[in-house]
Amino acid sequence: MDQGRRHVRRKHLVKTENLGSSQSDIEKAVSILRRGGLVAIPTETVYGLAADATNEEAVSKIFKAKGRPAHNPLIIHVKNIKMAQQYVQWNEAAEILTMKFWPGPLTIVLPSTKNSQVAKTACANLPSVAVRMPGHPVALEILRQFNRPVAAPSANLSGKISSTSIDHVLKNLNQKIDAIVDAGNSTVGVESTIVAFTPLPTILRTGFITPEAVSNALGAKIANYDNEGPVIAPGQLRSHYAPNAKLRLDAIDWRQGEKKLGFGDVECDINLSKGKSLSEAAQNLFNFLHVLDSFNPRTISVSPIPNEGIGLAINDRLKRASIQE
CB neighbour burial string for 94-105, b if at least 16 within 10 angstroms, e if fewer: bebbbeebbbbb
Candidates 45, 121, 154, 192: give the one binding Mg ion (CB under 5 A): 154
Candidates 182, 191, 293, 316: give the one binding ligand TXA (CB under 6 A): 191
- Min dist. Cβ of residue 4 to ligand TXA (A): 35
Three-class DSSP category at 92: helix
- Min dist. Cβ of residue 152 to ligand TXA (A): 5
Give the binding range for Mg ion (CB under 5 A) out of 58-66, 152-160, 269-277, 306-314. 152-160
47 and 144 Cβ atoms separated by less than 8 Å? no
Q: Which does 129 bind (CB under 5 to 8 A by kind): Mg ion, ligand TXA, none?
A: ligand TXA
Q: Which does 273 bind (CB under 5 to 8 A by kind): ligand TXA, Mg ion, none?
A: none
Is residue 48 a contact residue for ligand TXA (CB under 6 A)?
A: yes
d(CA 164, CA 284) in angstroms, rounded, equals 9
Is residue 234 a contact residue for ligand TXA (CB under 6 A)?
A: yes
Q: Is the CB of 133 or the CB of 261 nearer to ligand TXA?
A: 133
Nearest to 240 by CA among 312, 139, 165, 319: 319
Candidates 16, 30, 42, 43: give the one binding ligand TXA (CB under 6 A): 43
Give the binding range for Mg ion (CB under 5 A) out of 63-71, 121-129, 147-155, 309-317. 147-155
172 and 244 Cβ atoms separated by less than 8 Å? no
Single-letter residue type at 59: V
Q: Is the CB of 123 or the CB of 142 nearer to ligand TXA?
A: 123
- Min dist. Cβ of residue 246 to ligand TXA (A): 22
Q: Is the CB of 54 or the CB of 107 nearer to Mg ion?
A: 107
What are the DSSP E strand ranges found in the chain?
17-19, 39-41, 48-52, 75-77, 106-111, 128-132, 150-151, 179-181, 193-197, 201-205, 246-248, 259-262, 270-271, 299-302
CA angle 260/263/267 to nearest 5° reads: 50
135 and 103 Cβ atoms separated by less than 8 Å? yes
- Min dist. Cβ of residue 104 to ligand TXA (A): 10
d(CA 42, CA 179) in angstroms, rounded, equals 12
Is residue 38 a contact residue for ligand TXA (CB under 6 A)?
A: no
Is residue 130 a contact residue for ligand TXA (CB under 6 A)?
A: yes
Chain centroid, CA 126 distance in Å: 20
- Min dist. Cβ of residue 56 to ligand TXA (A): 16
214 and 97 Cβ atoms separated by less than 8 Å? yes
Q: Is the CB of 80 or the CB of 236 nearer to ligand TXA?
A: 236
**Is 64 buried (19+), middle (13-18) or exposed (0-12) by CB count in 10 A?**
exposed
Interface residues with Mg ion (CB under 5 A) are: 154
Interface residues with ligand TXA (CB under 6 A) are: 43, 45-46, 48, 72-75, 105, 107, 109, 123, 126, 128-130, 132, 134, 152-154, 191-192, 194, 196, 204-205, 233-236
